[in-house]
């Protein structure tokens, strides 16, 4: 699994009980072997993209506050491809 998706999977695990869309995205990450972030984003529905656009800014802020540069960069790679 590519590193940005590993970080995204970990992030989504915190939201699994909150929303069905989160569970779908998590399952996609677990079941598929994406060659890169673009392949993953191409496989997302509009609802899934919207969901990630909603949660990733908070997760990026958290990583920044915690000075977790690696986590910030990996999640930001995915977030940048959603826009």
Cα–Cα distance between 9 and 13 in angstroms, integer? Answer: 6
**pLDDT per position as a tens digit, 25-83:** 999 999 989 999 999 999 999 999 999 999 999 999 999 999 999 999 999 999 999 98
Q: How many domains does the chain have?
A: 1
What is the residue range of 37's domain? 3-82
Q: Give the CA-trace dihedral at 53, 60, 43, 1, to 10 degrees.
A: -170
Q: What is the pTM of this model?
A: 0.91
Task: Compute the distance between CA of residue 20 and CA of residue 24 in angstroms, rounded to an integer.
Answer: 6
């Amino acid at each position: 699994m590519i590193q940005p998706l590993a970080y995204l999977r970990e992030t989504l695990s915190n939201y699994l009980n909150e929303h069905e869309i989160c569970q779908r995205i998590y399952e996609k990450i677990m079941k598929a072997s994406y060659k890169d972030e673009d392949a993953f984003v191409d496989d997302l529905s509009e609802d899934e993209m919207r969901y990630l656009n909603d949660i990733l800014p908070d997760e990026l802020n958290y990583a920044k506050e915690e000075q977790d540069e690696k986590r910030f960069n990996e999640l930001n790679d995915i977030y940048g491809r959603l826009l």
